[in-house]
Amino acid sequence: MGFLRGELWLAGGAILAAGMWLCVWAKVNNHVSADVLVLGSVGMGVVYLLMLMVQPGRASRGVWVAMILVAVLMRMPWFFVPASSGEDYFRYLWDGAVTANGVNPYAHAPRNVADGQVDNPTLKRLAQSGRGTLEGVNHPELRTIYPPAAQSAFALAYWIAPFDLTGWQIVLLGFDVLAALAVLGLLRAAGLPLSLAFLYLWNPLLVTETYGGCHLDILTAAMVVMFAWALARKRSIVATIALALGIGVKLWPVLLLPFLLRSLWGN
């Protein structure tokens, strides 16, 4: 790529990484005005959109190093942010503990367990060891709504680090890497420059929602991108598995079923 174009691209990546650290700092420091967080988020969004005009071109070794380095720097600070009450991930951590210990996660609402209304020794033990997690669950009067594949991911997080947000973030990181690899495969299948993967790796909204909000959408995204790659490569079995897992996390990928049926019919 041209010198000026490359310099602008690298500068944009540096701004995105610095902006992410600024947003994390503003979030963990309660005395900092919320305007800092808003301005940082908007600024990263503007820079990201402007970078669409300075794409790096050929994926040289330097481009790969820059892409990976900025991607790591954008994700790293979120692993040092303490858990805050009222977030969705408390439900994920509780469901994971219940599932990993062989109890049906759909059987009891967290509030019933917390109030001692459930006569189950395993749940009573979990309520004691994971008291902080149980108390942080949103809408504890409701039973879980998350499908089986999501429950499996929650259980994996529990096995990695019981009742610890870091365990869930590690699971998210694994699916994030899987999604990035699927994006690279899709770019290769489409004959597009692999360097365009920076549009995924450096997406500030994706990073913030995945590691800041710790939402499970990255699991679905990874399966959907893998589904698209498998269709492009005419690998129907892989596409079927990816779509099934995506539906098992969130139901909306069922809308992609006609594409799979068309592929199978064509084969």
Q: For residue 158, is it within any domain?
A: no
Kindly report, residue by residue over 105-131, the tens digit of the pLDDT: 999 999 999 988 888 999 999 999 999
Residue 229: both structure tokens together:
């790659």
How many domains does the structure of the chain reveal? Answer: 2
Looking at 116, 146, 176, the residue that finishes a domain is 146
Residue 124: both structure tokens together:
């009573």
State residue 211's pLDDT score.
92
Kindly report, residue by residue over 177-228, the tens digit of the pLDDT: 999 999 999 999 998 888 899 999 999 999 999 998 899 999 999 999 999 9
Q: What percent of the chain has pLDDT over 70?
A: 92
State residue 5's pLDDT score.
67
Give 123: exposed, middle or buried? Use CB within 10 Å, 0-12, 13-18, 19+: buried
Q: Do 215 and 122 fall into the same domain?
A: no
Q: For residue 155, is it within any domain?
A: no
Q: Do 77 and 192 fall into the same domain?
A: yes
State residue 267's pLDDT score.
56
Q: For residue 58, is it within any domain?
A: yes
Which residues, including other chains, have CB under 8 Å from residue 66's CB and lie 6 or more apart? 9, 10, 13, 56
Kindly report, residue by residue over 33-83, the tens digit of the pLDDT: 677 778 888 889 899 998 888 776 666 787 889 899 999 999 999 998 876
CA atoms of 182 and 250, how far apart (whole Å): 19
Q: Do 74 and 96 fall into the same domain?
A: no
| Conformation bin of residue 129: beta by default, left when phi > 0, alpha when psi is -120 to 50 | alpha
Q: Do 133 and 188 fall into the same domain?
A: no
Q: Are 182 and 230 in contact (CB under 8 A)?
A: no
Q: Do 76 and 179 fall into the same domain?
A: yes
Query: Using the 8-state DSSP alphabet, how is residue 197 labeled?
Result: G
Q: Quick check: 13 pLDDT over 70?
A: yes
State residue 31's pLDDT score.
63
Q: For residue 156, is it within any domain?
A: no
Query: Using the 8-state DSSP alphabet, how is residue 106 labeled?
Result: T
Separation in Å, CA 143 to CA 10, 154, 265: 47, 15, 39
Q: For residue 241, is it within any domain?
A: yes
Q: What percent of the chain has pLDDT over 90?
A: 63
Q: Do 93 and 186 fall into the same domain?
A: no
State residue 213's pLDDT score.
86
Q: Do 234 and 260 fall into the same domain?
A: yes
State residue 39's pLDDT score.
82
Structural domain of 133:
89-146
State residue 40's pLDDT score.
82
Residue 70 identity: V
Q: Quick check: 1 pLDDT over 70?
A: no
18 confidence band (pLDDT: 50, 70, 90):
very high
State residue 57's pLDDT score.
65
Q: For residue 159, is it within any domain?
A: no
**DSSP letters along 40-83, please?**
HHHHHHHHHHHGGGS---S--HHHHHHHHHHHHHHHGGGGGSPP
Q: Do 109 and 240 fall into the same domain?
A: no
Q: Quick check: 86 pLDDT over 60?
A: no
Q: Are 64 and 192 in contact (CB under 8 A)?
A: no
Residue 211: both structure tokens together:
């590691």
3-class secondary-structure state, position 29: coil
Q: Which residue has the higher pLDDT, 212 or 247?
A: 247
Q: Quick check: 101 pLDDT over 70?
A: yes
The residue written with tokens 């951590």 in the block is 93
Q: Do 200 and 255 fall into the same domain?
A: yes
Q: For residue 69, is it within any domain?
A: yes
State residue 266's pLDDT score.
66
Q: Do 76 and 188 fall into the same domain?
A: yes
Q: For residue 135, is it within any domain?
A: yes
Q: Quick check: 85 pLDDT over 60?
A: no
Q: Do 20 and 137 fall into the same domain?
A: no
Q: Do 185 and 224 fall into the same domain?
A: yes
Which residues, including other chains, have CB under 8 Å from residue 6's CB and lie 6 or more apart? 56
Which residues, including other chains, have CB under 8 Å from residue 196's CB and lie 6 or more apart? 55, 187
